Amino acid sequence: MKELGKSRSTIKPPEIELTETRVFVATNITAVSEEGTEEQPGFAGYEFDLVEYDKDECIKLQAEHGADLEQQLEDTQVALCEVYEFMS
């Protein structure tokens, strides 16, 4: 994973962009409009945080996240069963 930091674009970036070997994730996407000065032109576009992942690394992270969600779902189901039994 490479944190690429704040990035800017004149077009709104996709939240996830896939290439053959990399995955780019854009978060905190906000519209930006800055007026120009005599020295610098203005900017109208988007600012966002950008992270680059190797595809294999991204697949591994998604699998881990899926396992975490499965465990949370199982814990919730057990808790709901306990509440149901308590109410009966």
pLDDT digits (tens, 9 = 90+) for 44-78: 899 999 999 998 888 888 888 888 888 999 889 88
Q: How many domains does the chain have?
A: 1
Over 80: is that where the pLDDT of 88 sits? no
Phi, psi of 53 (to 5 degrees): -120, 150
pLDDT digits (tens, 9 = 90+) for 7-51: 999 999 999 999 989 999 999 999 998 887 778 788 889 999 999
Half-sphere exposure of 25 (CA within 13 A, CB side): 13
* pLDDT given at position 67: 85
- How deeply is 50 buried, as exposed, middle or buried, from its count of CB atoms within 10 A (0-12, 13-18, 19+)? buried
Residue 47's domain comprises 2-87
